[in-house]
Amino acid sequence: MSSRLSRPGKSGPPPSPPGSCPARRAIALARAGRHPASAVHEAELALADPACAARPDCALDALTTLVLAGELTTADRAAARLGHRDHQSCDHPDARHAYGELLDRGTLIRARTARWRGDPDTAAELYEQLRRRPIGPELRSVIVAETVELLVGRGEPAEAGALLGGYGSDVRGGPELRCARGLMAMAGGNFRAALADHLAAGRQFTAQGVVNPAVSPWRRRAAWCARAIGDAELAAELAREEHEAALAWGEPRVVGEALAGVALLAGDGHEIDLLGEAAELLDVGEAAIEAGEARYELGRWLLRSGQRAFARVQFMKAAAGFHGAGNRHRAARAEEALRGLDPRPGPALTPTELKVAFLALAGFRNQDIAAKQFLAVRTVEFHLSQVYRKLGVRGRDELRFHLLDPEWQPAG
């Protein structure tokens, strides 16, 4: 059967949320990808209601809605407060169990906000904590799927495959696990299997009334798989569908990711403009890694069009963003693109000096740079002083202008 014949259809109007619980109304709106302001309002009502906020599933639905709407700070703070009001009333075993479930859901939300902000190390630690907890199979499958996606994004497909292990073929886990399995197939170059998995996940999501690409980017990934097997028409169609759904939801990160997909899969000569707009939206959405990806691709398109100086700026910004997010394999790729440009006579920064400079460019303090690079603070100060001396600048402000100057290139 062809990919088109097995594609999920467009869902109809979302069903009315059952009951009067604001958390259920919030997540129904979020999953349908409509009326984000109303969804956030319902989520806030749920969290303000002590009875609703004390129910683990209601709390998770409300907080998930906030994450999907890009309200990461609000979600993170609310997740950290979960259960604190009732921790004195946990003498009964059932109460202790419910309290533990509440805390687990708060940890899951904190893992998601860390992941969305481009902090994979914190997210990985929180997901690992959850995997050690006695969590039910439905939520565990979601945690495993999200961890697999995190590991693949960090350039650790072997670890992701080992984790997926006993879950990857278990379709009872829902569409999240199908997407994770599809992502593993993509990482292994098996794009036909990956396309089948993502389209199957899409059918499951659609049957559940899930349209919002903030829940899952299955369309965009399926589009890349279709492109890889030579079906450019299907790839463009899926990319445009995702962009349409993203616009209906309106969250900058989701729109930016979808727009980058349109640029690369259905750009029709407007790739540079679309990628530039996507990168700006992703910056607004605090999506450091995704913004870096958009800038990296923008740099490649600028390079193809002969705009080497401007390509260099985008590769620099991408590398700085990746270093800031702790994504070493993507940072190395951006640095390789920089080295591929013809060097001009100039200061020869060492690899460590470049990394420290990129992190300083991303706005990290010396103490933060030291922690990320496993260096002493004095060592960071020494490397920065060397960078300033070699580049002839007097501080971070001048460093920003110098490194992002289209006329500058790293030597050697």
From the DSSP assignment, how many helices (H) and strands (E) are in the chain?
22, 0
Nearest to 106 by CA among 136, 148, 160, 67: 67
What does the pLDDT read at residue 26?
97
**What is the C-alpha separation between 60 and 63, in angstroms, rounded?**
5
Q: How many CA atoms lie within 13 A of 76 on its CB side?
A: 15
User: What is the full DSSP assignment across 196-257?
Assistant: HHHHHHHHHHHHTT---TTT--HHHHHHHHHHHTT-HHHHHHHHHHHHHHHHHH--HHHHHH
**What is the C-alpha separation between 143 and 137, in angstroms, rounded?**
10
**What is the C-alpha separation between 361 and 342, in angstroms, rounded?**
23
Neighbours of 43 (CB within 10 A): 30
Helix (H) / strand (E) element for 362: namely none
Widest CA span in the chain: 73
Give the 3-state secondary structure of 263-304.
HHHHCCCCHHHHHHHHHHHHHHCCCHHHHHHHHHHHHHHHHH
Between helix 396-403 and helix 351-361 the angle, nearest 10°, is: 110
What does the pLDDT read at residue 91?
53
**What is the C-alpha separation between 126 and 109, in angstroms, rounded?**
9
Q: Summarize pLDDT for 8-19 with one digit per residue, the tens.
A: 655 544 444 555
Look at the block and give the residue holding tokens 């639905």: 61
Q: Which amino acid is at 253?
A: R
Could you tell me the end-to-end alpha-carbon distance of the chain, in angstroms, rounded to an integer? 53
Q: Coil, strand, or helix at residue 67? A: helix
Q: Are 299 and 321 in contact (CB under 8 A)?
A: no
- Token digits for 139? 């939520």
- Is pTM beyond 0.85? Reply is no
Q: Report CA-CA distances (Å) from 26 to 61, 132, 209, 306.
A: 7, 29, 14, 48
Which residues in the chain show pLDDT less than 50?
Answer: 1-5, 12-16, 87-88, 92, 168, 171, 411-412
**What is the C-alpha separation between 294 and 284, in angstroms, rounded?**
13
CB-based burial of residue 63 (10 Å sphere; 0-12 exposed, 13-18 middle, 19+ buried)?
buried
What does the pLDDT read at residue 369?
87
Q: Coil, strand, or helix at residue 386? A: helix
Q: Which amino acid is at 321?
A: G
Q: Summarize pLDDT for 375-385 with one digit per residue, the tens.
A: 888 888 888 88
110: Cα separation from own chain's centroid: 14
247: Cα separation from own chain's centroid: 18
Q: DSSP letter at 17? A: P
Q: Are 113 and 72 in contact (CB under 8 A)?
A: yes
**What is the C-alpha separation between 153 and 164, in angstroms, rounded?**
15
